[in-house]
A and B are shown apart, each in its own frame.
Chain A
């Protein structure tokens, strides 16, 4: 899967948000907020093909979490990203 073209992470006063531009995202009018670890994952996977394992690895690399917790958090985040509409499946 990939993050859809046109979705962009921006940082305003230390807060991370996702906005969308482009004709294909014309109906996406939301502004979505990401916390620090979600923003780390975004930066690691944006613009390339990735799996949930790549997301888990970002958490394991950057944070002191165990495999079980990292998997749970990454899967939950991915669910949110899919329902928000910015994930393009394989």
Chain B
């Protein structure tokens, strides 16, 4: 079974090996993104085959926490990767093998339906982030609302209240909708930083094939008060970069992502919002962000 999807304007193909138990039921959240494209347009190809085992593992780079689950990363002499993805209960659910540029990926899944679903979706997120890293594209940890055709991503470490803040936008600001609650794509399209929904949205089922130019990027920080200010370019760089999926030892990926973050900061204002989880915080961020866009 072969499926094609387009996320953030990038097309990719998922090929389920014949005779296996895996199929596109694992990718229900990708349904809104299904598409038909020519092979020449593909950013990457992923083969899903539980029988697959790489010949060599390579050198261990490290074990990385990705918001509660672990990814073991190994690199071979030729720059190709092996990544072992575990779930929140430390169960290995996916073995991923990628060419140096993540254009050709093979995965083997393991465990029950939920483990497989977790494994393949995390494999896809990583592959998207790293294959598109040098193509003006970021996979970013953020919750994004849209108002009046403009997207507003909110960043922050897990537990900061990103989802709470954006759900309060929906509650208190008319005509707003949620574009994505956890892992949207940001891509610079013809010079315009644009945010895209994706099949990956954390705990909130919000898998929308939507896009909007970005109005402002806001870093959230919990505080016993509400206060907002514009970040300097250096602060903006330092707050956006750690929110992106990145591998800093890989020059193509690291440079590409730094270049994209730079392009975003050059065009879009960044704010720091120290906030309480309340209506006043939403009124403050909305009025500040909107005001600045209307001026520019």
Residues of A within 8 A of B (CB): 10, 12-13, 15, 17, 19-23, 25-26, 29, 31, 33
Interface residues of B (CB under 8 A from A): 61-62, 232-234, 237-238, 241-242, 248-251, 254-255, 258, 262, 265-266
Alpha-carbon gap, A17 to B248, bound state (A):
16
What's the Cα separation between A20 and B215 when bound, in Å?
A: 29
Of listed B232, B233, B242, B248, residue having the most chain A CB within 10 A: B248
In the complex, the answer to whether B266 meets A13 with C-beta atoms within 8 Å is yes
In the complex, 13 of the A-B residue pairs with CB atoms within 8 angstroms, ordered by the A residue number, are A12-B233, A12-B234, A15-B232, A17-B234, A20-B248, A22-B248, A22-B249, A23-B61, A23-B249, A26-B62, A26-B248, A29-B242, A31-B238
Contacts of A23 in B (CB 8 A): 61, 249
Kindly list chain A residues whose C-beta atoms are within 8 Å of the C-beta of B62.
Answer: 26
Judge whether B262 and A10 touch: CB under 8 Å: yes
A25 touches B266 (CB 8 A): no
Residues from chain A with a CB closer than 8 A to the CB of B258 are 10, 19
Is A15 in contact with B249, judged by CB distance below 8 angstroms? no
Measured between beta carbons, the chain B residues less than 8 angstroms from A21 are 248-251, 254-255
B residues within 8 A CB of A12?
Answer: 233-234, 237, 262, 265-266
Which residue in chain B gives the minimum CB-CB distance to A17? B234
Contacts A12-B265, A29-B242 hold; do A17 and B237 have CB atoms under 8 A apart? yes
A13 in contact with B265 (CB, 8 Å): yes
**B234, B251, B254: which contacts A15 (Cβ < 8 A)?**
B234
Q: Which of B241, B250, B251 contacts A31 (CB 8 A)?
A: B241
Tell me the nearest residue of chain B to A32, going by C-beta: B234
Bound-state CA distance A31–B233 (Å) is 11
A1 CA to B248 CA in the complex, in Å?
24
15 new A-B contacts at CB < 8 Å, known A13-B266, A22-B251? A12-B234, A12-B265, A12-B266, A13-B233, A13-B265, A17-B237, A19-B241, A20-B248, A21-B248, A21-B250, A21-B251, A21-B254, A21-B255, A22-B249, A31-B241
Give the complex CA separation of A21 and B253 in angstroms.
10
Closest 8 CB pairs of A and B: A23-B249, A21-B254, A31-B238, A13-B233, A12-B233, A12-B262, A33-B234, A15-B233
Question: Complex: how many Å from CA A22 to CA B238?
Answer: 18
Q: What is the bound-complex CA distance between A20 and B238, given in angstroms?
A: 12
Task: Chain A residues near B61: list those with CB within 8 A.
Answer: 23, 26
